[in-house]
Amino acid sequence: MASTLDEFLEGVQGRAVRMAALALGEREAALDLVQDAMVALIDRYRDRPPEAWGPLFWRILQSRIRDTYRRRRVRQRVLAVLGWSAEEDQEDPMNTLPDSFTPGPDQALTDGRFARDLESALRALPLRQQQAFLLRHWEGLDTAATAAALGISEGSVKTHLYRALQSLQGHLEAYR
């Protein structure tokens, strides 16, 4: 357990950036969001006990991710109505090629293919499923803490997590 707020923030920074980058698809935007979440935690909650910092930080970060995600969707809709297209909306033609090589589990771990496929599968998840999976399995939060961080009920966390696991299993079936 981190004894100071600086230690806590240092401990979660890397995981938070990774989580935000998966949700947004951009590392630079993720860095900005994590920094904003950290500043908000320091400004508003530095006097809280250390055990409260984790759920508060993840709640702040999740709110920032959802806000950014919503803004992007609105912007994309407006651009579509105007007949303009954002470069990020265009699919990479390399992603449409069929998979001609399915590695074994040991090889997948050594050459990084599994990590890339897992990241791709995580990016393909709807935002709530993605965040429920990351908070429960990467951060190790329990169902109640995950629900608090996402601002949803524990039952919804379980539903989102179940659907995320089903989707990930489908995407990663070759690695079984």
User: What pLDDT was estimated at residue 95?
Assistant: 55
Band of residue 101 on the pLDDT scale cut at 50, 70, 90: low
Domain assignment of residue 22, yes or no = yes
Same domain, 18 and 57: yes
Asked whether residue 99 is assigned to any structural domain, the reply reads no
pLDDT at residue number 153: 95
Q: Are residues 4 and 83 in the same domain?
A: yes
Q: Which of 58, 87, 116 is the last residue of a domain?
A: 87
Same-domain check for residues 39 and 79: yes
Question: Does residue 110 share a domain with residue 82?
Answer: no
pLDDT at residue number 130:
93
pLDDT band at 75; cut points 50, 70, 90: confident
- 81 lies in the same domain as 110: no
The mean pLDDT of 66-79, rounded to a whole number, is: 83
| Residue where a domain terminates, one of 87, 122, 155 | 87
Q: Is residue 92 part of a domain?
A: no
Give the lowest-confidence range in 19-23, 77-81, 154-158. Answer: 77-81
Q: Which of 89, 109, 113, 111 is nearest to 25 (CA)?
A: 89
The total number of structural domains in the chain stands at: 2
Residues in contact with 64: Cβ distance below 8 Å, sequence separation at least 6, in sequence order? 20, 33, 36, 37
- DSSP character string of the chain: --SSHHHHHHHHHHHHHHHHHHHHS-HHHHHHHHHHHHHHHHHHHTTS-HHHHHHHHHHHHHHHHHHHHHHHHHHHHHHHHHT---GGGSPPGGGGS-------HHHHHHHSHHHHHHHHHHHHS-HHHHHHHIIIIIS---HHHHHHHHTS-HHHHHHHHHHHHHHHHHHTGGG-
pLDDT for the residue 24 = 87
What integer best gives the mean pLDDT of the chain? 84
Is 136 part of a structural domain of the chain? yes
pTM of the model: 0.64
Return the CATH number at 138: 1.10.10.10
3 lies in the same domain as 56: yes
Q: Are residues 68 and 133 in the same domain?
A: no
76 plus 114 within the same structural domain: no
Judgement on whether residues 81 and 129 belong to the same structural domain of the protein: no
* Residue ending a domain, choose from 52, 87, 122: 87
Residues in Cβ contact with 66 at an 8 Å cutoff, skipping those fewer than 6 apart? 127
Examine the domain organization and report whether 111 and 83 are in the same domain: no
Q: Are residues 81 and 140 in the same domain?
A: no
Question: Is it the case that residue 85 has pLDDT exceeding 80?
Answer: no
The structure tokens listed for 90 are 């265009």
**Do residue 112 and residue 81 come from a single domain?**
no
- Pull the structure tokens for residue 78: 């407006």
- Domain holding 80, by residue range, is 1-87
Q: Quick count: other Cβ atoms within 10 Å of Cβ 32?
A: 15
Distances 107 to 6, 56, 115, 122 between C-alpha atoms, Å:
39, 39, 11, 21
